[in-house]
Amino acid sequence: MDMPLPLIIAQIINGLIAGSMYALFASGLTLIWGTMKMLNFAHGEFFMLGGYLVYYFYAVLGLNPAIAALLAVGIVFVLGMLIERVVIQHLLSSPVWQLSTIIATLGISIFLQNVALHIWGPDFQNVPYFINGVANIFGIRIAYQRLLIFGVSVVSISLMWFLLKHTRFGLALRATSQDSDAAQLYGVNVLAVYTLTFGISAALAALAAVMLSPIMGVNPYMGLSPLLKGFVVVILGGLGSFSGAILGGLMLGVIESLGVLYTSTEWGDVIAFGFLVLIIWVRPWGLLGVEERN
Amino acid sequence: MTLLQVDSLSSYYGDARALHDVSLEIGDGEIIAVIGSNGAGKTTTLRTVSGLIKPHAGDISFEGMSILKMPAHRRIELGIAHVPEGRRLFPQMSVRENLLMGAYGASTWKSRRSLIDEMCDLFPRLRERIGQYAGTLSGGERQMLATARALMSRPRLLMLDEPSLGLAPKIVKTLFTIIERINGEGVAVLVVEQNVQLALKLATRAYLLENGHMIKSGETASFLQDEDIRRAYLGV
């Protein structure tokens, strides 16, 4: 079937915008997998809390959206570090840490969902757009809010990339993820790296929710679907690969939105997940992951 | 003066005892070898000194101060640099970044650029490979990089675990010449080797570990004259 070209381009742009949010969310997941080799099932709830906090500071208290966003991301950053320090760190030295961290993060996830349910109730809450209006770019109409989403994710992903590649902390983080014993031998306080990484990861999830909440609203269970898609993106890009998560996120976004164009919304997921199965069939280690040889 | 003193160390791997009452010492600027067969406890001893393994009994002191309670990541700042078994480079980091990791400590980080230059003078091959991933290097280059990474921390004591393993004889010779030169500049060297001949030639004193027991120590000359050692480790 023939689709008009502007419509396809518009859908690709929409896909990139949605994909940039997947990328932001998934880069936090992959960062934790890469450094700590654990799966964080509470990542979706850091996302959810980011959404509720911006709802509270911006929609309820009426603070400036930029300040509300900073507060929301900052609070979730501190909370992430606290949870790592109090709950996760003790489990890492256990011989069954892989299982116990999964159970612990699942527990944290359920706990945080219920905290949100208790405070804000089960209904969707609306968050107004940070900026109103629609841009017209070569005949394609995009809401400013969506442009803002894209801009914020480009800036924050670039900052993350700089942090990882060009700072002393980034060097320590990458060294820890490749060989934590050797990193310790050369002076890296590995436990402190874990704590900070967990906080950064949580902050990235919160930032994604802050940007998306005006479009999708907030709800105690809003973290569930992104978590599943986040895992898809992380596996698609290659477990532990930061650039893989960015690429995987953008791809998933574009495939979904093109899929919707040709079929119905329900089929979008089928196409996206079918594509994932296809990729890990051909490249089990993901797009940018490293093939493990034994 | 005694730089490192290891006193009656005992440790376990699960239920199995890995070290029994192991003691050794190394003086400032000295070069010693710890020899013994596979599984004798040589690597365990080094990993305990650098803090990766907690001993069950005994003490370790550096310049007269006990470092037993000091976490592993702080021991490098005292001047203890450990080139672990298997080199343990960061495979997906460049040669340059691996070197930078050696200077990670606050006191060396400031002079990291001039230290990299120094290392490239000492190991010219590293300059040619500076932007390459460590995972793509040859065996010899990896050992050079691992040694250079340790030297980036300006150590007082350099501990090398099986530096000759898997290397061609010519490369081993180059490496050992460089180790001697480093030692000549005042860095104490503790080398663990399965290649006993090589180790005894390099060191002035040696220790023999067997099944976690330190069974002999002394001048290397006395090791070379010992009939049992000659038969068991030198094959003559």
Give the ipTM: 0.93
Residue with tokens 């518009």: A10
Q: Tell me, rounded to whole angstroms, the distance of Cα A105 from its chain centroid.
A: 16
Cβ separation B100–A187 shorter than 8 A: no
Please tell me the CATH code under which domain A5-282 is placed: 1.10.3470
Low pLDDT (below 70) residues in chain B: 15, 236
| Predicted local distance difference test score (pLDDT) of residue B236 | 67
Of B71, B92, B109, the CB nearest to A178: B92
Q: What are phi and psi of A142, to 5 degrees?
A: -130, 130
Report which secondary-structure segment, H or E, holds B81.
strand B80-83
Would you call A187 and B153 a contact, using CB atoms and an 8 Å cutoff?
Answer: yes
pTM, 2 dp: 0.92
Q: Please say whether the dihedral angle defined by the alpha carbons of residues B155, B160, B166 and B172, taken in this order, is positive or negative.
A: positive
| Per-residue pLDDT at A294 | 39
Contact A187 B91 (CB under 8 A): no
Q: What is the pLDDT of residue A138?
A: 80
Q: Do the strands B188-193 and B157-161 form a parallel or antiparallel pair, or are they unpaired?
A: parallel
Q: Tell me if chain A has a CB within 8 Å of the CB of B13.
A: no
A174 to B93: CB separation less than 8 angstroms, yes or no: yes
The answer to whether B153 faces chain A, any CB pair under 8 Å, is yes
Instruction: Answer yes or no: do B52 and A181 touch at CB < 8 A.
Output: yes
pLDDT of residue A247: 94
Strands (E) in A62-188, as ranges, are: 134-137, 140-143
Q: Using CB atoms, pick whichever of B77, B91, B109 lies closest to residue A168.
A: B109
Low-confidence ranges of chain A (pLDDT < 70): 1-2, 291-294
